[in-house]
Amino acid sequence: MCGNESLQQQTRAMRLLGLAKRAGAVSSGVEGVRSLCRSGRAGVVLVAKDCSPNSQKRIADCCAFYRVRLVALPCGKQELGHAIGKSEAAAAAVGNAGLAREILSCFAAQESKERGGN
């Protein structure tokens, strides 16, 4: 079960993702994500929990090859899509290095708390 702090971190990450979208630094969808990874500009890739297994594999393989951090979100396509102004999005990549770092820090803090760290 998600704690209040992990929900706050996830909400913060989704707000940062929306900010990145407004800055023109987000690609969504499987092909958009893969294209941003291939260009070398992707800082982090976020994948919705209800993304299809085939799409997950294609994105994961691309992220591994191009050494891009991949975060499996605890939310679905609707929530991810809402964060970037779409009805649904299976995946999104952030092309702004600073915003990508901030988004990763949200999930790193969440993982640390779940493992029992401070």
pLDDT given for residue 1 in this prediction? 37
pLDDT in tens, 44-102: 999 999 999 999 999 999 999 999 999 999 999 999 999 999 999 999 999 999 999 99
Q: Dump the DSSP string for 50-108.
A: TS-HHHHHHHHHHHHHHT-EEEE-SS-HHHHHHHTTSS--SEEEE--HHHHHHHHHHHH
